[in-house]
Amino acid sequence: MAEPLPALCLRIASVQVGMPRQFPADDSRRPWVSGIIKEPVQGKVDVGPTNLGGDGQADLVHHGGADKAVLLYPGEHFRHWQTEFPDVRWGSGTFGENFTTSGGLETDVCIGDVFAVNNCRLQVSQPRQPCWKLSRRWELPSLAVRVQQTRRTGWYFRVLQCGSVGPGDSMVLCDRPHRDWTVAAANDVMYGKPRNLERRAELAACEALSHAWRSVLVQRDEPRPERGEDHK
């Protein structure tokens, strides 16, 4: 008999979208382009195969796409970041996320989990792997690395069924094909040292994991923060 699903329901506190914009050079560094700044939306927003309506990424080679259509970040983490980096007022959208939620963390959610929200079906595809743009936005050089070290990464969804979502909506777990692979466990495999090659191979074999993460896991070198699979 199949193990029953846990009664997991996430609440969407806010929804954010944003298109790429140009940022000027500073401190002898070059200008840069990013969609990391996301603004809150009121009412419902369309959920498409690769994006929310009004959302976009600057680097389509490494960011966005079907496996990273929607980025979620648990609002429970903001208290930690406020303590560690008190000069920033951490809150909805500050991590460039599309959904800011409550009710579930990386230890509660598994790779491959399918959530129903209104008429949408969203599947967890990978943890967020932040790149340098998150650090540069807030002028905190250690931030991307600290996200990895603390495992407070958030995660991405692929879209199984398009529809619309809005603030206040509930995301209800309706399928869990990979019970052993929480987002937290996937983070431990990716960022843990020394590398556990057996566990890396096991995670790489998880069919619901994104193509990008599966590719990285079979490579010999450890991933670096500046090569992150960000949503920007």
The DSSP line for 151-178 is T---EEEEEEE-EEE-TT-EEEEEE-S-
DSSP letters spanning 79-91: HHHHHHSTTS---
Whether 22 has a pLDDT exceeding 60, the answer reads yes
Question: What percentage of the chain carries pLDDT values higher than 90?
Answer: 79
The stretch 181-185 carries a mean pLDDT of 98
Q: Tell me, what's the pLDDT at 208?
A: 98
Instruction: Identify which of 140, 147, 136, 142 has the alpha carbon closest to the alpha carbon of residue 190.
Output: 147
Query: CB of 111 within 8 A of CB of 125?
Result: yes
Summarised one tens digit per residue, pLDDT across range 199-211 is 999 999 999 999 9
pLDDT at position 126 over 60: yes
Inform me whether the pLDDT recorded for 222 exceeds 90. no
Please, what is the average pLDDT of the chain? 92
Of the pLDDT bands very low, low, confident and very high (cuts 50, 70, 90), residue 225 is low
Q: How confident is the model at residue 57 (pLDDT cuts 50, 70, 90)?
A: confident
Its pTM stands at 0.92
| pLDDT of the residue at 24 | 84
Mean pLDDT within 44-70? 89
pLDDT at 109 over 80: yes
The superfamily (CATH) of domain 9-23+31-221 is PK beta-barrel domain-like (2.40.33.20)
pLDDT at residue 220 in the model: 54
pLDDT confidence band for 120 (50 / 70 / 90): very high
